[in-house]
Each structure stands twice: as structure tokens, then as C-alpha cells.
Amino acid sequence: MQMAQILTESRVVSDLSVVEKREILAYLAGLFVLDIPGVGKKQILHEFLERERVGTTGIGMGIAIPHAKLPGLVYPLVALGRSVRGVDFDAMDGGKVHLIVALISPLAQTTEGTKIHLEALTAISRLLRSPSNRRRLLEAPDQKALFHAALAPPSID
């Protein structure tokens, strides 16, 4: 799975103006609403918050990957937000988070559903594990550049 299959420019925000974790999750939840008929922002936010209660999705290195599973989806969807100032996301390393990649996957409790979810997480991981990829995302001057940076072939370093 490639980022181009799960990310659209309309779900990319180059400078999140909100500064609290819950506000970030709410904002990103709102980006999915047009792509998921019958599912509202509150339901998506609820699922994100439930996942955060299990454990933080702030994985360190300035990255958070909030994720949830929802009924009615056939394919995973991703939203990408960047906080220039950084957000306290309860990250494992205690640092501020600047890149937030939110993932919504199909609820299917099948092997295929789990496989699709893991493939999406792998695509996100390929993008974010390289310092040069993260730098490219952090330095993109605007939404369009950030979107294209997310779709560029990942560097391996």
C-alpha cells in the first residue's frame, strides 16, 4: 500500500492552529467526514480518544499516529497534520509532536481487515522512520508541498 492510495490533499493541514491534543484529534476527525458517509466527526473523535485511553499514539521523534477502526469503510484513510509549534501529545519520549498522521481503518474483524490496517501502518512507518523524510515533511512550505512530500518515495537512511 502506498500513501497515494490513502491520503488526499484535502486531508492535509500544513499548520495546525490548535494546540491541545484533544483539539488536534477533533480537527483531524473533521477532515475525514466528507469521505465516510454516515459517520460524524464526534464518532471519529470518540474512537480516537478511546484509542488514546489504551495508550498514547505519540510514538516519539515528534510523531503521533492516532488511529481507529470504523464500520462502513472498505479502505483505510489517512489525514496528515503538522504543528509548527508542536503539541504535547503525551509522547513516549516526552517531546512535542509536530507530525500527526491519523489513520481510520475498516472495522472488519477478519484476517483481511487486520492485514489492510497493518499495510496502512506500514506505509505510514515507511514515510516517517527516515530522518530525511521527516525533515522534508517539516520543511514543506505549504499544504500542497506537504502533500507532495508525503507522497514522494521514502528515503532510507
Residues with catalytic function:
67
**Between helices 21-32 and 41-54, what is the axis angle to 10°?**
130
Residue 139 has a CB neighbour count (10 Å cut-off) of 10
Asked whether the beta carbons of 100 and 83 are under 8 A apart, the reply is yes
Residue 28 has phi, psi (to 5 degrees) of: -65, -35
Q: In angstroms, how far is the first alpha carbon of the chain from the final one?
A: 21
